[in-house]
């Protein structure tokens, strides 16, 4: 595709986002909320695409090559988000009394189901090659494999709904919902989280091995700076954290699976595969899934903005390309997507909704999800390439 054509198409996608937001905002207060969700999704998609913010990819880079820049970007996102979330939660709920939680925050139950879901999600990322949020931004890059993985995720969500009742009765119903400010207040929660994140960052920095391209020449033009090179991971992380705080304050916590889950739940409900009520599911905070009764939803518009903006960014950066997908790769991506869908459903979210939004809010469920998701990625990579961890093992020695 010629450069002029790419630029025109990118401008067209940007105009679609702007015009859609304008049209929604003209519909009154509810429409303004939907417009904000669309614009926040667009900002999120731009940042993800330019910084290559993919939880699986940056974890793989560290485990296999000791390139810690991407994982440090996640730590930066959590630091920025933790600071902002605690300020917002302090305004919403000045006294974090036992039995009360800040409205809408992704603070979920601690149970073996959460651990199992996160572990399966991590293995699914390894099989499919990306997390769900990265598959969404790669839709904008023309990645056919992401289409297959997301179709698998829809199936996985359906399987999660079918297994939910038994899991809920066995392990989730009586599981504790642990929120750090309940135990130590906002100040204590902030201090603990920043200390832990600082310790993680120090360890990552110690183990980091600079890649050969770390000293590449600086871009000469503004366009080359914005769309010609990958944004630094720390900048991407800081922007993700800031978008997360604004989203929580003005709309809802960051999350990308609520719309996927709602589509799967609506489809299964119309096929008569689900009971009339999924016991306990709609009472938990997280990436909530509902039987859809309206076409537009805040999370659906967030995801739409994400894909459209990442598409415009990919066109301007020359990252848009269509590629054929072989049967073996397609099967791996579909199975990986199904595992991610099941894991996200039973965990009440994914790496964005639980790991990012939950941890920023001081929810222990976010930390548990992150730990077991990392274990799942490690297990999956170890099974595929058992000799690829020598670098990290040497650094720890």
Sequential DSSP letters for 293-358: -SS--HHHHHHHHHHHHHHHHHHHHT--------HHHHHHHHHHHHHHHHHHHHHTS-IIIIIIHH
261 phi, psi to nearest 5 deg: -65, -40
Q: Give the residue among 199, 215, 242, 234 at the shortest CA–CA distance from 72.
A: 234
| Neighbouring C-beta atoms of residue 387, cutoff 10 Å | 7
283 bridge partner residues? none
* CB-CB contact of 36 with 112 (8 Å): no
Instruction: Give the start-to-end residue ranges of the domains of the chain.
Output: 3-208+227-396
Burial class (CB in 10 A: 0-12, 13-18, 19+), 6: middle
Q: How far apart are alpha carbons 168 and 189 in whole angstroms?
A: 29
* Predicted pLDDT at 29: 87
* CB-CB contact of 197 with 79 (8 Å): yes
Burial class (CB in 10 A: 0-12, 13-18, 19+), 357: buried
Q: How far apart are alpha carbons 72 and 47 in whole angstroms?
A: 16
Tokens of 62: 């560290």
* Predicted pLDDT at 397: 47
* Predicted pLDDT at 267: 84
Q: How far apart are alpha carbons 244 and 7 in whole angstroms?
A: 29
* Predicted pLDDT at 268: 82
Dihedral of CA 270/272/274/275: which sign? positive
Q: How far apart are alpha carbons 237 and 109 in whole angstroms?
A: 26
Q: How far is CA 234 from the centre of its chain?
A: 17
Q: Give the residue among 316, 367, 372 at the shortest CA–CA distance from 343.
A: 372
* Predicted pLDDT at 298: 87
Q: How far apart are alpha carbons 50 and 52 in whole angstroms?
A: 6
* CB-CB contact of 381 with 126 (8 Å): yes
* CB-CB contact of 193 with 89 (8 Å): no
* Predicted pLDDT at 67: 95
Q: How far apart are alpha carbons 23 and 223 in whole angstroms?
A: 29
C-alpha dihedral, 187 to 193 to 197 to 199, nearest 10°: 80
pLDDT in single tens digits along all 397 residues of the chain: 568 888 899 999 999 999 999 999 999 888 999 999 999 999 999 999 999 999 999 999 999 999 999 999 999 999 999 999 999 999 999 999 988 999 889 999 999 999 999 999 999 999 999 999 999 999 999 999 999 999 999 999 999 999 998 999 999 989 999 999 999 999 999 999 999 999 999 999 999 998 876 555 667 778 788 888 899 999 999 999 999 999 999 988 998 888 888 888 888 878 888 776 777 776 665 555 665 555 578 889 999 999 999 999 999 999 998 888 899 999 999 999 999 999 999 998 899 999 999 999 999 999 999 999 999 999 999 987 766 555 554 555 4
Tokens of 282: 């709609």
* Predicted pLDDT at 387: 60
């Amino acid at each position: 595709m010629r450069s002029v054509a790419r630029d025109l198409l990118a401008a067209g996608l940007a105009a679609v986002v702007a015009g859609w937001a304008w049209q929604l905002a003209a519909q009154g207060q509810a429409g303004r909320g939907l417009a904000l969700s669309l614009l926040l999704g667009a900002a999120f998609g731009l940042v993800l695409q330019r910084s290559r913010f993919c939880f699986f990819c940056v974890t793989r880079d560290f485990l296999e090559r000791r390139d810690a820049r991407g994982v440090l970007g996640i730590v930066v996102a959590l630091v920025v988000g933790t600071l902002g979330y605690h300020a917002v939660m302090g305004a919403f709920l000045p006294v974090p009394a036992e039995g009360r939680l800040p409205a809408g925050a992704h603070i979920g139950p601690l149970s073996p189901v959460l651990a199992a879901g996160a572990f399966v999600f991590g293995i699914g990322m390894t099989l499919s090659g990306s997390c769900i949020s990265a598959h969404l931004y790669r839709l904008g890059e023309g990645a056919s494999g992401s289409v297959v993985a997301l179709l698998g995720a829809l199936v996985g969500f359906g399987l999660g709904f079918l297994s939910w009742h038994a899991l809920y009765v066995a392990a989730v119903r009586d599981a504790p919902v642990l929120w750090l400010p309940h135990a130590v207040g906002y100040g204590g929660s902030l201090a603990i989280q920043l200390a832990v994140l600082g310790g993680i960052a120090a360890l990552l920095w110690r183990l980091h091995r600079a890649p050969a391209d770390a000293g590449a020449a600086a871009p000469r033009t503004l366009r080359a700076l914005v769309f010609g090179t990958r944004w630094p991971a720390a900048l991407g992380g800081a922007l993700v954290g800031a978008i997360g705080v604004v989203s929580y304050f003005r709309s809802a916590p960051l999350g990308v699976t609520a719309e996927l889950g709602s589509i799967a739940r609506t489809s299964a409900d119309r096929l008569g595969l689900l009971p009339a009520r999924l016991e306990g599911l709609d009472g938990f905070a997280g990436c909530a899934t509902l039987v859809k009764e309206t076409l537009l939803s805040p999370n659906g518009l967030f995801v739409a903005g994400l894909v459209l903006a990442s598409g415009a960014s990919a066109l301007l950066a020359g990252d848009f390309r269509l590629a054929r997908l072989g049967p073996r790769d397609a099967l791996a991506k579909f199975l990986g997507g199904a595992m991610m869908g099941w894991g996200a459903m039973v965990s009440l979210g994914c790496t964005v909704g639980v790991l990012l939004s939950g941890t920023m809010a001081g929810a222990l469920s976010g930390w548990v999800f992150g730990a077991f998701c990392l274990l799942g990625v490690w297990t999956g990579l170890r099974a595929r390439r058992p000799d690829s961890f020598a670098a990290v093992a040497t650094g720890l020695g």
